[in-house]
């Protein structure tokens, strides 16, 4: 707990007329969902399914080994109930106060939205959106979870496609453009639970022309010094303490 930095961040947020937050995988991990790229997770998955997450979670695998894809997706990605950490509620509170204008995230569980944030860009899509690739009919998350094998479209029997980004796929152009537009407007940029060179930040931070880049991440990285204020703490501990001091 670094009270001096808490005050600095609080002051920057207070003064800012436009703040954008980037929510990284560290925030997802704090909410109870480890990254698929975590070596231990990857090892367990490979033992169980015969393939690594990076092999299974691709469009080629979805197309050719659909049943295994959905086994993995249901068990490993949708298997345990995931609740937004306190950090996401702190972001929603900031937004209510008019001190946060936009959230950008690559997590697919809609955690900012579920905590109450209204203006969110889910760059990689969300698990709640599922569509038949052939006829476009939409399906609920529940439909995917409760299907016993491959969830098939009731109209045309095609496998339903979760509207989330798979490994190797490109982020939708319109989403990228909208995220860039937000960053260009930002006076303060909050980078949370990730590093400045992560997949989430890469290609976006160059567009930031504001005054203060704030980084909160529990692990240290050599690029951290590029930020104006750096806090090496868990986002779920630091952010609520900054937003709602006791």
Footprint on this chain of Zn ion (rule: CB under 5 A): 132, 134-135, 137, 153, 155-156, 158
Look at the chain and count its residues: 246
H or E stretch covering 129: strand 125-131
**Least gap, CB of 159 to Zn ion (angstroms):** 9
Pick the closer one to Zn ion by CB: 131 or 185: 131
Minimum CB–partner distance for residue 63 and Zn ion (Å): 16
State which residue, 121 or 153, has the beta carbon closest to Zn ion: 153
DSSP category for residue 222: G
Q: Which one, 21 or 132, has the nearer CB to Zn ion? A: 132
Closest approach of Cβ 152 to Zn ion, in Å?
8
- What's the min distance (Å) between Cβ of 186 and Zn ion? 40
Instruction: Tell the smallest beta-carbon distance from residue 59 to Zn ion (Å).
Output: 17
Q: Which is nearer to Zn ion, 88 or 139 (CB)?
A: 139
Residue with smaller CB distance to Zn ion, 12 or 153: 153
The DSSP bridge pattern shows strands 161-164 and 212-216 to be unpaired
Q: What angle do CA 190, 194, 199 make, to 5 degrees?
A: 105
Give the Cα separation of 217 and 194 in Å (integer).
Answer: 6
Q: What is the Cα–Cα distance from 104 to 117, expressed in whole angstroms?
A: 11
In sequence order, what are the beta bridge partners of 102?
20
Nearest of 221, 174, 218, 179 to residue 201 by alpha carbon: 179
17 is catalytic: no
Cβ count near 121 (within 10 Å):
18
β-bridge mates for residue 231, sequence order: 216
Residue 131, beta-bridge partner list: 138, 161
Active site residues: 124
């Amino acid at each position: 707990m670094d009270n001096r930095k808490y005050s600095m961040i609080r002051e920057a947020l207070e003064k800012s007329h436009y703040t954008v937050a980037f929510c990284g995988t560290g925030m997802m991990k704090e909410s109870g969902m480890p990254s698929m790229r975590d070596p231990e997770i990857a090892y367990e998955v490979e033992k169980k399914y015969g393939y690594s997450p990076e092999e299974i979670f691709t469009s080629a695998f979805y197309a050719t080994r659909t049943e295994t894809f959905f086994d993995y997706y249901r068990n490993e990605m949708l298997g345990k109930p995931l609740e937004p950490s306190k950090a996401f509620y702190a972001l929603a509170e900031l937004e209510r106060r008019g001190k946060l204008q936009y959230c950008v995230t690559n997590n697919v569980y809609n955690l900012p939205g579920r905590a109450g944030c209204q203006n969110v860009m889910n760059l990689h899509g969300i698990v709640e959106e599922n569509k038949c690739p052939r006829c476009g009919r939409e399906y609920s998350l529940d439909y995917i979870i409760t299907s016993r094998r491959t969830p098939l479209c009731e109209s045309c029997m095609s496998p339903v496609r979760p509207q989330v980004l798979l490994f190797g796929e490109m982020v939708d152009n319109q989403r990228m453009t909208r995220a860039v537009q937000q960053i260009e407007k930002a006076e303060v940029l909050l980078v949370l639970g990730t590093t400045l060179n992560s997949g989430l930040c890469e290609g976006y931070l160059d567009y930031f022309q504001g005054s203060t880049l704030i980084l909160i991440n529990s692990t240290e990285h050599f690029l951290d010094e590029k930020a104006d204020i750096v806090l090496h703490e868990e986002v779920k501990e630091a952010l609520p303490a900054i937003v709602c001091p006791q």
